[in-house]
């Protein structure tokens, strides 16, 4: 990861964005939000296609042959991302209250969100076993302390750690992946970077990178993956600007 190069591109984009028409930026942001919602829900098994996701979010069209839960997952994800942008616009630093609110929005009409689990959970196909509830409560408490005091010289690594550590703890019965990706983007955007979307086609690489952190404590594969996605997004925007 060449963090200095990413920072240079971030500063270039900041200057270019002032010259770009708002309509252009809004169009690209809207396109990203649909893609991000589609990928993040699809990783968890949602079967709506990208076009169907667009139809639900932009046109309010109900898609036949899909469960109500799948429709809610898509609508809720978009709503939660809107909440993230609102919090960032208000200059709020990510904390426990915001994370619980994000989860509650993601789980609206599905289950009661924003409440930590009191049962054991398993991640299918993973070597890592999430902590039992008594250990989980201590770990999530430590997570918020670490998030406040952890050195933030590298914003990409910090955002990647926020995701990897949170999903390792797995504090909710459901929705941990979507919440983790949402809070990672919160940290990226809070540092002036662009939010990223992990393509559903890359979920195997994504899961393996998270497993490397959960089992071996090695954050590098995941941080490098996020840095690559960030660079792609920055290059895309800089390409329009130029």
Active site residues: 170
Nearest Cα to Cα of residue 193 among 4, 13, 57? 13
- CB–CB of 126/209 below 8 Å? no
How far apart, in whole angstroms, are the C-alpha atoms of residue 158 and residue 64? 41
Cα 92 → chain centroid: 17
Longest dimension (CA), the chain: 54
Which residues, 6 or more positions from 74, have their beta carbon under 8 angstroms from its beta carbon?
Answer: 37, 38, 41, 46, 48, 53, 56, 57
Nearest Cα to Cα of residue 162 among 178, 189, 175, 143? 143
Please give the C-alpha separations between residue 182 and each of 31, 95, 176, in angstroms, as whole numbers: 17, 13, 10
Among all chains, which residue has been given the structure tokens 């941990």? 176
Concatenate the DSSP letters of all residues of 129-155 into one string. Answer: -PPPHHHHHHHHHHHHHHHHHS--S-H
- CB–CB of 178/77 below 8 Å? yes
Q: Name the token pair of 114.
A: 């924003």
């Amino acid at each position: 990861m060449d963090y200095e190069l990413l920072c240079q591109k971030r500063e270039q984009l900041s200057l270019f964005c002032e010259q770009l028409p708002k309509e252009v930026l809004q169009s690209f942001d809207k396109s990203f939000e649909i893609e991000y919602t589609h990928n993040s829900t699809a990783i968890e098994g949602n079967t709506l296609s990208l076009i169907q996701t667009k139809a639900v979010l932009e046109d309010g069209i109900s898609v036949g042959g899909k469960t109500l839960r799948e429709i809610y997952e898509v609508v809720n994800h978009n709503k939660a991302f809107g909440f993230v942008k609102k919090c960032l616009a208000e200059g709020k630093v990510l904390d426990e209250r915001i994370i619980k609110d994000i989860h509650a929005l993601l789980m609206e009409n599905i289950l009661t969100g924003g409440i930590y689990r009191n049962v054991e959970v398993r991640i299918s196909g993973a070597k890592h076993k999430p902590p039992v509830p008594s250990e989980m409560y201590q770990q999530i408490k430590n997570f918020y302390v670490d998030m406040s005091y952890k050195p933030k010289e590298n914003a990409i690594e910090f955002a990647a750690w926020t995701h990897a550590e949170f999903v390792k703890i797995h504090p909710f019965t459901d929705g941990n992946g979507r919440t983790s990706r949402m809070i990672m983007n919160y940290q990226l955007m809070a540092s002036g970077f662009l939010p990223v979307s992990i393509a559903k086609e890359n979920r195997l690489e994504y899961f393996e990178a998270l497993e490397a952190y959960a089992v071996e404590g090695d954050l590098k594969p995941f941080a490098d993956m996020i840095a690559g996605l960030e660079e792609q997004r920055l290059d895309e925007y800089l390409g329009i600007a130029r």
